[in-house]
Chains A and B, each alone.
Chain A
Amino acid sequence: MENKLIVSLSPHVHGSDSVEKNMYGVCIALLPALIASFCFFGLGAVTVMLTSVLACVFFEWAITKFILKRDKLTILDGSAILTGLLLGFNLPSNLPIWIIILGALFAIGVGKMTFGGLGQNIFNPALAGRVFLLISFPVQMTSWTDNVLDHVDGYSGATPLALMQKAILEKDPSVLNNLPSSLDMFLGQTEGSMGEVSALLLLLGCAFMLWKKIITWHIPVSIILTVFVFAGLLHLLDPVYAAPLQVIFSGGLILGACYMATDYVTSPMSHKGQLIYGVAIGLLTVVIRNWGAYPEGMSFAIIIMNAFTPLINTYCKPKRFGEVVRKEAAK
């Protein structure tokens, strides 16, 4: 057969970016925090993480193959692995394995595949799984094991978030004195889910993603700034509310802001929309944390704003070229 030329419309070159590069890029960004959580929580963390990732990949494979009956399998595009990782980060390290598998089934099965697979889901699958577990198994989901490196005596088992809520409920600012210092929290010496422990390493990964242009700064910065301002105001008004830095470095805020809220599929498309989304998540998080029934509000805030994403996309268009005629730059 003779050598046929190929014809197509332009462009004829591609920037060699790919879904895999982005997905595995996020996974790499999560690595430092992953290793840290293994150090902090020991073997339990390894088990939880492995179960979560393997279960997610398995369900993705099984559903594509046997239920959707698609020929092309998508387990290697990295999205299921990432979902598994993020789900694992949202779980305590002593969770029974069957609960993890249930969470993975919900995350992949309900959160992702029912909508049609990658790119179609409305809610972040990992968060859907976590919220499902949090509501179904509140006790198991909030009983933490000791952080092996924990230096805070006497309060093992009570996370900073629980302390913060306790202070508000009892109207007693002195409860907050039991909180670890914000530096400790920043470095990762507190209680919590696996991904909640080290803000420093998570931010390091976030910087990596920004450098690799996997994400833009809009969502993480808007969330963190909003929380800082809102929590700061509350703290100034009434000292029963914790100091803003402690609020930011506690719980899953950094994990949520940098890795979960920035999920491509479920976040708005335009920068303006992303800022609105971020600010709303920040506000909702503080509201739920301080006055809600659950100590942690991040996952709920993101899930709620996921639902608003299509609406934001409809109303927040990027600034069109020529819309604002700029002042003359040249004479």
Chain B
Amino acid sequence: MNSILMAVIALGVIGLLAALLLYFASRKFAVHEDERIGQVSAVLPQANCGGCGFPGCAGFAGACVKATDEKGSLEGLLCPVGGQPVMEQVAGILGMTVEATAPKVAVVRCNGSCENRPRLVEYDGATSCKVQAMVGMGETGCSYGCFGCGDCVRQCQFGAIRINPETKLAEVDEEKCTACGACAKACPRGIIEIRLKGPKNRRMVVLCNNKDKGAIANKWCKASCIGCGKCVKACEKFEAITVTKNLAYIDAEKCKLCRKCEEACPKGAIHAINMPPRKPKADAPAAPKAENTPTTPNTQSSPITPKEQQ
């Protein structure tokens, strides 16, 4: 009996001491955090993707509170995952307002599928685009195209990007994509662009990243942009297209979705995404090959021998 009593007392005393220690430790080392940070954090998606440019959602919440106190506005801060609704909630908590931002989406600017861009050699090494980039050009003759090893897939927190086993290209699931930009950062060739989603998700994109001269680009890929500049002429009215380093680029802000460039492109490198299919009797005057103009990135127009314009 006595020993039980002793044990109970001893343990009790130890417990008491430990409790006291914990109490004082929690007082002494307490971190006073602005309670708004917690509130803001609570409405954030908690994906900790880093798409906002801060280390995780807590970091972003801290930055929002700091910006409110110091600048008095939330300008330049955006949670790409939550988008407008979340930013409005954040602004509500902090007593701020946010301006509307246009939603964006990741776009893989390469259409060099196995069919379009024949594999010349076989890569046999670690499954990583960054590693393959050290071997040279990769499996194909294109020094700018998609490796298909999925560095972007591994960086995506939302399961919104995958490698299509048939085309061996990265494909974005627009529903899931939050435009956080992790994939764009992971891509060693800068193929992925975070682009405006466009009205009704409709947009015109040059699905190519090849900056080689036309002859080389054309030789190794059927779907490459050769920098011929026909699209630039087709877009004279809106001046949305520019060719730099043998590669055409469509400025989404200026693009009016007229689809003239799509017809003008001799290689079918310009794609109209999420657009309704064209009527069969397309009355486009300068488009003799418009019958099988692609409407989605994965259907391929017949290759056309381009005239080099360099």
Chain B associates with chain A: yes
Stretch from B15-23, B37-45, B130-138 that touches the partner: B130-138
B122 interface hit (Cβ, 8 Å): yes
Cα–Cα distance between A9 and B131 once the two chains are bound (Å) = 8
Whether A8 contacts B119 by the Cβ 8 Å rule is: no
Which A residues touch B131, using CB under 8 A?
Answer: 9
Whether B134 contacts A6 by the Cβ 8 Å rule is: no
Q: Indicate which residue in A4, A5, A9 contacts B125 across the interface (CB closer than 8 Å).
A: A9
Whether A4 contacts B122 by the Cβ 8 Å rule is: yes
23 A/B residue pairs, CB under 8 Å, sorted by A: A4-B119, A4-B120, A4-B121, A4-B122, A5-B120, A5-B121, A5-B122, A6-B121, A6-B122, A6-B123, A6-B124, A7-B121, A7-B122, A7-B123, A7-B124, A7-B135, A8-B123, A8-B124, A8-B125, A8-B135, A9-B125, A9-B134, A9-B135
Cα–Cα distance between A319 and B121 once the two chains are bound (Å) = 41
Size class of the B contact interface (CB-based, 8 Å): 10 to 19
B-contact 0/1 string along A1-29, CB 8 Å cutoff: 00011111100000000000000000000
Cα–Cα distance between A111 and B239 once the two chains are bound (Å) = 66
Which A residues touch B139, using CB under 8 A?
Answer: 7
Q: Known pairs A4-B122, A7-B122, A8-B124. 9 more at Cβ < 8 A? A: A4-B119, A4-B121, A5-B122, A6-B122, A7-B121, A7-B124, A7-B139, A8-B135, A9-B131
Which B residues touch A8, using CB under 8 A?
Answer: 123-125, 135
Q: Closest chain A residue to B138 by CB distance?
A: A7
Which B residues touch A4, using CB under 8 A?
Answer: 119-122
Whether A7 contacts B119 by the Cβ 8 Å rule is: no
Cα–Cα distance between A8 and B134 once the two chains are bound (Å) = 9
B residues contacting A by CB (< 8 A) are 119-125, 131, 134-136, 139
The SS class assigned to the B binding surface is loop
Which A residues touch B124, using CB under 8 A?
Answer: 6-8
Cα–Cα distance between A101 and B122 once the two chains are bound (Å) = 47
How many A-B pairs with Cβ below 8 Å? 26
Which A residues touch B121, using CB under 8 A?
Answer: 4-7
Minimum CB–CB distance from A11 to chain B (whole Å) comes to 11
Cα–Cα distance between A5 and B131 once the two chains are bound (Å) = 18
Which A residues touch B119, using CB under 8 A?
Answer: 4
Q: Closest chain A residue to B125 by CB distance?
A: A8
Minimum CB–CB distance from B174 to chain A (whole Å) comes to 30
Minimum CB–CB distance from B135 to chain A (whole Å) comes to 5
Which B residues touch A7, using CB under 8 A?
Answer: 121-124, 135-136, 139
Cα–Cα distance between A5 and B135 once the two chains are bound (Å) = 13
Minimum CB–CB distance from A3 to chain B (whole Å) comes to 10
Which B residues touch A5, using CB under 8 A?
Answer: 120-122
Which A residues touch B123, using CB under 8 A?
Answer: 6-8
Minimum CB–CB distance from A228 to chain B (whole Å) comes to 40
Cα–Cα distance between A9 and B135 once the two chains are bound (Å) = 6
Which B residues touch A9, using CB under 8 A?
Answer: 125, 131, 134-135
Cα–Cα distance between A9 and B128 once the two chains are bound (Å) = 12
Q: Closest chain A residue to B134 by CB distance?
A: A9
Minimum CB–CB distance from A74 to chain B (whole Å) comes to 20
Which A residues touch B136, using CB under 8 A?
Answer: 7
A6, A7, A8, A9: residue with the most chain B Cβ atoms closer than 10 Å: A7
Q: Closest chain A residue to B139 by CB distance?
A: A7
Cα–Cα distance between A9 and B133 once the two chains are bound (Å) = 10
Q: Closest chain A residue to B131 by CB distance?
A: A9
Q: Closest chain B residue to A4 by CB distance?
A: B122
Minimum CB–CB distance from A331 to chain B (whole Å) comes to 43
B-contact 0/1 string along A136-157, CB 8 Å cutoff: 0000000000000000000000
Minimum CB–CB distance from A23 to chain B (whole Å) comes to 24
Cα–Cα distance between A8 and B136 once the two chains are bound (Å) = 9
Cα–Cα distance between A167 and B9 once the two chains are bound (Å) = 36
Cα–Cα distance between A6 and B136 once the two chains are bound (Å) = 12
Cα–Cα distance between A8 and B139 once the two chains are bound (Å) = 10
List the 9 closest pairs (A to B, CB-CB), nearest first.
A8-B125, A8-B124, A5-B121, A6-B124, A7-B121, A4-B122, A6-B122, A7-B135, A4-B121
| 8 Å CB interface, A220-273 against B | none
Minimum CB–CB distance from A2 to chain B (whole Å) comes to 9
Cα–Cα distance between A5 and B123 once the two chains are bound (Å) = 9
Q: Closest chain A residue to B123 by CB distance?
A: A7
Cα–Cα distance between A4 and B118 once the two chains are bound (Å) = 11
Minimum CB–CB distance from B214 to chain A (whole Å) comes to 26
Q: Closest chain B residue to A5 by CB distance?
A: B121
Cα–Cα distance between A310 and B119 once the two chains are bound (Å) = 44
Minimum CB–CB distance from A4 to chain B (whole Å) comes to 5
Cα–Cα distance between A8 and B135 once the two chains are bound (Å) = 6
Minimum CB–CB distance from A241 to chain B (whole Å) comes to 31
Cα–Cα distance between A9 and B122 once the two chains are bound (Å) = 12
Cα–Cα distance between A6 and B119 once the two chains are bound (Å) = 11
Minimum CB–CB distance from A5 to chain B (whole Å) comes to 5
